[in-house]
Structure 1
Amino acid sequence: MNLFVRPNMRFARFCKQFATEATQKEKWDLFSAVSLERLPVISRELTDMEKKVAGILSEIEFENSHLSDFEKRIEEENKRAQMKDLSAMNVDEIPKQTTHDFIDACQSELKQFQFAEGVRKGDSKSTDRELDRRLLLLIEDDIGAKKHWVLPQGKFSQGETSLRETAERVVKEKLGNSMVVKFLGNAPSGFYKYKYPKSVSNRVVGAKIFFFKAQLVSGNVDEKICKSYQWATRNQMDKLQDDYKNKVDMFLIDEEH
């Protein structure tokens, strides 16, 4: 029995040693990329099914609800109006503004109200568009000898304590100082790697990119630093390469419609 076990153990140790040596010889460049999103500002329009469900729930809630303070106030005013002896009423209890006056004032204010524009077409660099959608920041950057549309990214530098620190530096270097950004955690949310062409690889196999999620609080990209960028919806990410886009899609929150 030992005759078969020992050769297998030797073979396993050999494979482990070979894999370790191969891994040690491989060298990769580490990058941090920032998945920066502008969250929805207004609620999206409900679907037909959602409208039906909302209507049913509203009817159930109305049937089981109690009178609100405003509805009680209307009843009290109606009772006062039906009283024959007005002298018995306490003047201090009579409100200065009746419920009918309040309703008229509310309707007048409602007519002057303008809803925010949910979809503003044209300027893809503006964060004041597609207000009911999530917008993801894409930039055109030099990758090798060509320009590619990617998420803002930068190479890990010696002296930095973490890839999260690299991601914070990327925001300032690639996008400027006019933005307030909130990072979501210290761990990356996604990963992508690619190999360099043999003609340009100098003992470096390729690049490993770690994506960190962040949210835009205020501001926008400084166009003096980055001229070519876009705030894209989920349906406007075709500028990304297919394999790269597939990795990005894996950690983005899906939008139903």
Structure 2
Amino acid sequence: MSAPTVRMAGRCFYQLYKLSNSAGRTAAGKTGIRLFSGALVEHAAGPWRLLGAACVQRLAVISEDQRPLEARFSELMHQMELERSLMSDHELRLLDDKERLRRRQAVDYDSEEEEEADRDQDIVLTQDLEDAWEQRLKLFATQPRTRGEVDARVERSDRWLAEPLLLLTQQEVGPERLWLLPQTPWEGGETLKTTAQRALSSTPGLDLQTVFLGSAPCGLYKYRLPRSVRGSEGVTGVKVFFFKAVLRGPLPPPAPSSLWVRKSELKDYLKPSYLDKIRPFLLDL
């Protein structure tokens, strides 16, 4: 029973081997095989020029302002916690001080017995502690959540701390200078993720600590070149593969030809067709 099974399995593997060899020869004759997460072949012949782009976001640094419903719910939870909570050490100490004051005001108060019990410890009344804490609270000042002058400067990465920001760089595309995600052409021997990382590191003035979220592209934007350009360059159009990344470490200083913009501000800098392709994978964290 085992011999026929072995022969059938061997025949299947042989057929798969022939199919894979013929498919490989056909693909190699037309275009180079491109892998997103592995190594690339030496060339990628075809009518499309490939680019890798980095979608770098600075996530929110502080929490958002509470909505009215969230504020009411927070107050309700705080009131429930207060009603169900036990007394803290400070509250117990307040009761102890009140009891000690009551004993001192009593007719049968024995001062020697009280002094014997408190001889080995310094007596600090809770009211004195509260006065000291009140003075420290007056010296504490919180930073404002919104800073008009800083938030208005789109080249700064520390603006609008309660909202995520997206990095844009100004690049030359033909005769135009456009605001785009950092991008650069793919080169043989590298993955598209490596291309996106190189686009980020080769941007002048930018020194970022980033973490890329995976090795597969999160989006694609393609467009056809004008017919006058196709003949001279031998390409039909351009395909831009986007890779998501988040900013880590300290916030970088302003850099030339780069902006940090909110999601609501993207329409002021990006073309509508380009914006429609990157809006679905932007993180709202």
* Superposition TM-score, scaled by structure 2 size: 0.71
Q: Does 1:203 align with 2:216?
A: no
The 1:210/1:100 distance shift into structure 2, 3 A limit, reads: farther
Q: Does 1:114 align with 2:113?
A: no
The 1:104/1:124 distance shift into structure 2, 3 A limit, reads: farther
Gaps of 5+ in 1: 1-19
Q: Which whole-Å deviations, capped at 9, do the CAs of 1:110-160 have from their partners, x for residues lacking one?
A: 333332232333321112221111111111111122111111111111121
The 1:231/1:79 distance shift into structure 2, 3 A limit, reads: same
Mapped to 2, the partners of 1:114 and 1:26 lie a distance apart of: 62
2:126 maps to: 99
1:192 maps to: 221
1:213 is matched with which residue: 220, 244, 250?
244
1:230 maps to: 259
Conserved in 1, the CA contact under 8 Å of 2:157 and 2:254?
A: no
Mapped to 1, the partners of 2:53 and 2:127 lie a distance apart of: 58
1:10 maps to: none
1:174 maps to: 203
Matches within 5 A, 1:75-86: 75-84=95-104, 85=110, 86=114
Amino acid in structure 2 at the alignment position of 1:216: L
2:117 maps to: 89
- Aligned residue pair count: 229
Q: Which whole-Å deviations, capped at 9, do the CAs of 1:28-53 have from their partners, x for residues lacking one?
A: 22222111122222222211111111
Q: C-alpha displacement at 1:91, in angstroms?
A: 3.6
The 1:46/1:243 distance shift into structure 2, 3 A limit, reads: same
RMSD over equivalenced CA pairs, Å: 2.5
Q: Which whole-Å deviations, capped at 9, do the CAs of 1:166-193 have from their partners, x for residues lacking one?
A: 1221111015463222222222222222
Amino acid in structure 1 at the alignment position of 2:224: K
Amino acid in structure 1 at the alignment position of 2:97: E
Moved more, 38-47 or 175-184: 175-184
The 1:117/1:230 distance shift into structure 2, 3 A limit, reads: farther
The 1:39/1:111 distance shift into structure 2, 3 A limit, reads: farther
Mapped to 2, the partners of 1:126 and 1:148 lie a distance apart of: 19
Percent of aligned pairs with the same amino acid: 33
1:16 maps to: none
Q: C-alpha displacement at 1:206, in angstroms?
A: 1.6
Report which of the two structures shows the higher radius of gyration computed on alpha carbons.
2
Matches within 5 A, 1:233-248: 233-238=262-267, 239-248=269-278
Q: Which whole-Å deviations, capped at 9, do the CAs of 1:47-89 have from their partners, x for residues lacking one?
A: 1111111111111222222223333333333333333342253
Mapped to 2, the partners of 1:177 and 1:128 lie a distance apart of: 15
Amino acid in structure 2 at the alignment position of 1:44: E
Mapped to 1, the partners of 2:133 and 2:69 lie a distance apart of: 30
Gaps of 5+ in 2: 1-26, 32-44, 105-109
Q: Does 1:68 align with 2:88?
A: yes
Q: Which whole-Å deviations, capped at 9, do the CAs of 1:1-35 have from their partners, x for residues lacking one?
A: xxxxxxxxxxxxxxxxxxx9xx9685322222111
